[in-house]
Structure 1
Amino acid sequence: MNNNISKGWIFFFGALGGLLYGYDTGVISGALLFIDQDIPLSDFLEGVVVSSLLGGAIVGAGMSGYVSDRFGRRRVVFAIALIYLIGSLVLALSPNATVLIIGRIVLGLAVGGSTAIVPVYLSEMAPTRSRGALASLNQLMITIGIVVAYLVNYAFAPVEGWRWMLGLASVPAVVLMIGVLFMPESPRWLIKRNREDEARRIMALTREQSEIDDEMKQMRKIEEVEESTWDVLKSKWIRPMLLIGSGIAIFQQLIGINSVIYYAPTIFSKAGLGSSASILGTVGIGIVNVLMTLVAIATIDKLGRKKLLLIGNVGMVMSLAVLATILFTTELTTTVAWLTVVFLGLFIVFFSATWGPVVWVMLPELFPMKARGAATGFTTLLLSAANLIVSLFFPVLLGAIGTAWVFVLFAIIGVLAFFFVLKFVPETKGRSLEDIENDLRGKASA
Structure 2
Amino acid sequence: MSHSHVASDKVDSSHIEDSKQQMASPAKDGDVEEVGTISQTRETIQQVGLVESLRKYKYASIICMLAAVGSLSDGYQVQMSGSIVALAGFKETFGDLQPDGSYVIDPQYLALWGSLKNVAAMVGGGIGSYPADKFGRRWMILLVQIIMVGGCILEQCAYHWTHWLGARLLDGLSIGLAQCCINVYISETAPTQSRGSLMSLMQLFYTIGSFLSSVSLNIVSQDVPENWRHAVLSQFALCGVAIIAWAFLPESARWHCVHGREAECKRILQKLNGKVEGYDVETEYKHMLVEVEHANATTSIRSGGTYADVFRGVNRRRLIVSFLPWHWQVAIGVPIVGTYSSYFFDMAGLSNPFHGTVATNCVQIAMLLAAVPLIERLGRRKLLLSFAPVCIGSLLIMGGVLKAGGPAVGPVLIAFACIWNIGFSLSAGPMGYIYVAETATTRLRAKTTGIAIMGIQAMATVYVYIAPIMLNSPALGMSNTVFFWVGTGTLVYILVFFLVPETKGRTFADLDELFDRKIPAWKFAETKTRRQEEGY
Instruction: Indicate whether the TM-score tops 0.5.
Output: yes
Tell me, in whole angstroms, the C-alpha distance in 2 between the residues paired with 1:24 and 1:383.
19
Matching residue within 120, 137, 143 for 1:56: 120
Structure 2 counterpart of 1:237: 314
Tell me, in whole angstroms, the C-alpha distance in 2 between the residues paired with 1:245 and 1:64.
16
Structure 2 counterpart of 1:376: 449
Tell me, in whole angstroms, the C-alpha distance in 1 between the residues paired with 2:502 and 2:62.
29
Tell me, in whole angstroms, the C-alpha distance in 2 between the residues paired with 1:250 and 1:217.
36
Structure 2 counterpart of 1:82: 146
Structure 2 counterpart of 1:218: 287
User: Once the 2 structures are TM-superposed, how far is the Cα of residue 91 of structure 1 from its aligned partner?
Assistant: 0.9
Structure 1 counterpart of 2:528: none
Structure 2 counterpart of 1:117: 181
Q: Which shows bigger deviation, 18-27 or 244-253? A: 244-253
Superposition pairs of residues 205-354 of structure 1, within 5 angstroms: 205-207=271-273, 208=276, 209-210=278-279, 215-224=284-293, 225=296, 227-230=303-306, 232-274=309-351, 277-329=352-404, 331-333=405-407, 335-354=408-427
TM-score by length of 2: 0.78
Structure 1 counterpart of 2:7: none
- Answer whether contact 2:325 2:431 (CA < 8 A) is retained: no
CA RMSD of aligned residues (A): 2.0
User: Once the 2 structures are TM-superposed, how far is the Cα of residue 200 of structure 1 from its aligned partner?
Assistant: 3.0
User: Once the 2 structures are TM-superposed, how far is the Cα of residue 9 of structure 1 from its aligned partner?
Assistant: 4.2
Structure 2 counterpart of 1:143: 207
Distance 1:278 1:94, change over 3 A: same
**CA displacement, residues 375-431 of structure 1 (integer Å, 9 cap, x when unaligned):** 111111222222221111101111221111112111122221221121111110001
User: Once the 2 structures are TM-superposed, how far is the Cα of residue 251 of structure 1 from its aligned partner?
Assistant: 2.4
Structure 2 counterpart of 1:408: 483
Distance 1:428 1:205, change over 3 A: farther
**CA displacement, residues 316-366 of structure 1 (integer Å, 9 cap, x when unaligned):** 11111122222223x331x22110000011111100111100121111111
Distance 1:147 1:211, change over 3 A: farther
User: Once the 2 structures are TM-superposed, how far is the Cα of residue 250 of structure 1 from its aligned partner?
Assistant: 2.2
Tell me, in whole angstroms, the C-alpha distance in 1 between the residues paired with 2:229 and 2:137.
32
User: Once the 2 structures are TM-superposed, how far is the Cα of residue 100 of structure 1 from its aligned partner?
Assistant: 0.9
- Answer whether contact 2:304 2:443 (CA < 8 A) is retained: yes
Distance 1:266 1:332, change over 3 A: farther
Matched, 1:190 2:256: yes
Structure 2 counterpart of 1:361: 434
Structure 1 counterpart of 2:232: 166
- Name the aligned partner's letter for residue 20 of structure 1: S
Q: Which shows bigger deviation, 313-322 or 145-154? A: 313-322
- Answer whether contact 1:52 1:104 (CA < 8 A) is retained: yes
**CA displacement, residues 241-294 of structure 1 (integer Å, 9 cap, x when unaligned):** 1122223332221222133222212221222211xx210111011111111111
Tell me, in whole angstroms, the C-alpha distance in 2 between the residues paired with 1:205 and 1:434.
23
Unpaired stretches in structure 2, ≥5 consecutive residues: 1-57, 96-104, 298-302, 520-536
User: Once the 2 structures are TM-superposed, how far is the Cα of residue 206 of structure 1 from its aligned partner?
Assistant: 4.6
| Greater helix share, structure number | 1
- Name the aligned partner's letter for residue 235 of structure 2: A
- Answer whether contact 2:189 2:253 (CA < 8 A) is retained: yes
Distance 1:9 1:129, change over 3 A: closer
Structure 1 counterpart of 2:166: 102
Tell me, in whole angstroms, the C-alpha distance in 2 between the residues paired with 1:337 and 1:151.
19
Matched, 1:178 2:244: yes
- Answer whether contact 1:88 1:168 (CA < 8 A) is retained: no
- Name the aligned partner's letter for residue 389 of structure 2: V
Distance 1:169 1:43, change over 3 A: same
Q: Which shows bigger deviation, 86-95 or 159-168? A: 159-168
- Answer whether contact 1:69 1:371 (CA < 8 A) is retained: no
- Answer whether contact 2:86 2:346 (CA < 8 A) is retained: no
Distance 1:249 1:29, change over 3 A: closer
Matched, 1:396 2:469: yes
Tell me, in whole angstroms, the C-alpha distance in 2 between the residues paired with 1:139 and 1:340.
23
Matched, 1:10 2:77: no
User: Once the 2 structures are TM-superposed, how far is the Cα of residue 142 of structure 1 from its aligned partner?
Assistant: 0.6
Structure 2 counterpart of 1:72: 136
Tell me, in whole angstroms, the C-alpha distance in 2 between the residues paired with 1:344 and 1:71.
42
**Size of the alignment, in residue pairs?**
436
* Secondary structure at the counterpart of residue 198 of structure 1: helix
Higher relative contact order (CA 8 A, sep 6+): 1
Superposition pairs of residues 414-429 of structure 1, within 5 angstroms: 414-429=489-504
* Secondary structure at the counterpart of residue 185 of structure 1: coil
Tell me, in whole angstroms, the C-alpha distance in 1 between the residues paired with 2:82 and 2:322.
29
User: Once the 2 structures are TM-superposed, how far is the Cα of residue 212 of structure 1 from its aligned partner?
Assistant: 5.4
Tell me, in whole angstroms, the C-alpha distance in 1 between the residues paired with 2:403 and 2:251.
53
Q: Which shows bigger deviation, 41-50 or 297-306? A: 41-50
- Name the aligned partner's letter for residue 321 of structure 2: I
Distance 1:285 1:319, change over 3 A: same
Tell me, in whole angstroms, the C-alpha distance in 1 between the residues paired with 2:458 and 2:285.
36
- Name the aligned partner's letter for residue 217 of structure 1: K
Tell me, in whole angstroms, the C-alpha distance in 1 between the residues paired with 2:319 and 2:461.
20
- Name the aligned partner's letter for residue 169 of structure 1: Q
- Select the structure of larger CA radius of gyration: 2
- Answer whether contact 2:291 2:508 (CA < 8 A) is retained: no
- Answer whether contact 2:192 2:505 (CA < 8 A) is retained: yes
Q: Which shows bigger deviation, 392-401 or 236-245? A: 236-245
Tell me, in whole angstroms, the C-alpha distance in 2 between the residues paired with 1:112 and 1:420.
24
Tell me, in whole angstroms, the C-alpha distance in 2 between the residues paired with 1:181 and 1:317.
41
Tell me, in whole angstroms, the C-alpha distance in 1 between the residues paired with 2:114 and 2:156.
15
Tell me, in whole angstroms, the C-alpha distance in 2 between the residues paired with 1:359 and 1:38.
36
